[in-house]
Amino acid sequence: MNRLVDRLLPNGLRIMALEYGVMPMVEARLHLPAPCHTPADLAASMLLATGVSLGRDPGDGVELGAAGDVHRVAVTASAAPADLGLLLTTLAGVTGGRPGDLATARGHLAARLRVLGAHPDVATRTALSRHLFGGHPVAHPFPTADDVAAITEIGRPFDPRGAVLVVLAPEDPERLADAAGKALGGWAPGHTTPLPPLPPIVTGRLAALPQPGTAQSRIRLRAPAVAAPDPGYPALFVANNVVGGYLSSRLARSLREDRGYVYGVRSYFDPHPGRPLLAVEADTAAATTSAALEVLGEEFDRLGDHPPTEEEVRAARTYALGSAATRLASRAAFANALADLAGRSEDPLLLFDFARRLGAVTTDEVIAAAARHLTPGRFSGVVAADPGALPETLSLVR
C-alpha cells in the first residue's frame, strides 16, 4: 500500500505519484513557482489563478482550482479515474500561463478583492507582513484594484524547474507517473527570477493597528522558528503543541477554558520560504484585549519557570502522531500535505519520515526547544484593535 513513484523529468518538473486509498477519484496538486517582485506581478499571478479556476467546468469531469500568492500559483485538481487523461491535459494547459478570458477573470478578481479588502482580517494580515518584512515583496500580499485593472494582457509561461506535481489515485503509481510524464514532458523551461531572500525579523516588537470601533481585537504574533528539515524541528513541533497547538494546550486552557477570553487561540508554523516563523494568533473582545495580552505574556514566561512536563510532552507528541493518521486520512488531505511542503520549497518526502522523527523526540529536547524559541521577547507582531482597548505599553515582556 501507499506505493510512491518519485521522478524528475528532463524539463525539471518533479512528479510524485502515490497509490492511496480506494475512493474512486484522482487527486492532483501542481505547485508552480511564480515569484512576484512587484504588485503588478502579483496581480498577474492572481489573475492567472482566477482564470484557471474559471476555465474548467467541474461538470466536464475535472474540478480545478488555483490560488496565487507572492511566491507561487498552487493548482488543485480532482477527477474520476476515467477522466485522468483530461485532468492531465488540463494541468498541462495551465502551465502555458494564459488566463483564458481575461475580462471575466478581471471582473471576478476585482469583486473578490473588494470583499477581501473590507475584511478586517485582511487589513491585519497586510499590516503584519509590512511590520515583519517591510520593503520585501511579501509585504504586499494583495494587489489593489488598480493593479488588477492595469493588466490588459498576460502571457507568463510557468517554469517547470522547481515545479512539483503530486498525483494520488487508487491505482498503479508507475502508470500514473507515466501518464503525467507524457502529458507534461513537453513543457519547456521558462525563466523566473527568485525573490530576494527574506530578511530575519526583528524580535520583540509589537505594533498597534488602530481600528476604531472594532468590537473584536486581533492579536497576530510571530517568532523566528526552524524549518521542517532542521533536526530541531520535531522537538519544536511538540513544544508548539504544548503551548498552543491544540485544545489541550496551555494557551487554549488558559485563554478559552479558564477565562472565556477567546473562541480559539492557535499557534502554528508559518513557513515563509527560507524564513520559518512560529505564529500565535487569538481574537478577543475589545474589553478583554489587555487581559488576553497579559495572559499571553504570562504563559510564555511560565514556560521558563514551569517547563513542559513529561505528561504534557507525552500528550502533545501522541496528538501529533495521531494527527498524522487522522488529519491525513482522506486522499485530498494527504495530497494537500504533500503540496504544502512543495509550496514552502521543502521536500514532500519529509512527510513520510515525520512520524519516526516525532517518535524519537525526548522531553529534554522539548524543554530545550521551548526555552530557546518560545520566550516572550522573541515575538513580534501586530494587535489590531480599537485604540481604547489597548494597554499603555504593548509588550509581552513584563
Which stretches of the chain bind other proteins, using CB under 8 A? 21-25, 27, 53-61, 63, 78-80, 104, 107-108, 110-112, 114-115, 117-121, 214-216, 246-248, 252, 256-263, 283-285, 314-315, 318-319, 321-323, 325-327, 329-333
Residue pair 175/5 in contact (Cβ under 8 Å)? The answer is no
> Which residue, 218 or 222, is less far from other proteins as judged by CB?
218
Q: Shortest gap between Cβ of 48 and other proteins (angstroms)?
A: 16
Q: Shortest gap between Cβ of 207 and other proteins (angstroms)?
A: 22
Q: Shortest gap between Cβ of 260 and other proteins (angstroms)?
A: 3
Residue pair 160/9 in contact (Cβ under 8 Å)? The answer is yes
Q: Shortest gap between Cβ of 115 and other proteins (angstroms)?
A: 6
Question: CA-CA distance, 303 to 316, in Å (whole number)?
Answer: 15
Q: Shortest gap between Cβ of 323 and other proteins (angstroms)?
A: 7
Q: Shortest gap between Cβ of 211 and other proteins (angstroms)?
A: 11
> Which residue, 11 or 248, is less far from other proteins as judged by CB?
248
Question: CA-CA distance, 382 to 108, in Å (whole number)?
Answer: 30
> Which residue, 358 or 390, is less far from other proteins as judged by CB?
358
> Which residue, 27 or 270, is less far from other proteins as judged by CB?
27
> Which residue, 57 or 230, is less far from other proteins as judged by CB?
57
Question: CA-CA distance, 292 to 299, in Å (whole number)?
Answer: 10
Give all strands of the β-sheet with 216-224 in edge-to-edge order: 206-210, 380-385, 216-224, 275-285, 265-272
> Which residue, 8 or 23, is less far from other proteins as judged by CB?
23
Residue with the three cell numbers 472565556: 260
Q: What nine digits make up the cell of 289?
A: 484585549
Residue 204 CB partners (closer than 8 Å, separation 6+)? 377, 378, 379, 380, 395, 397
Residue with the three cell numbers 510512491: 4
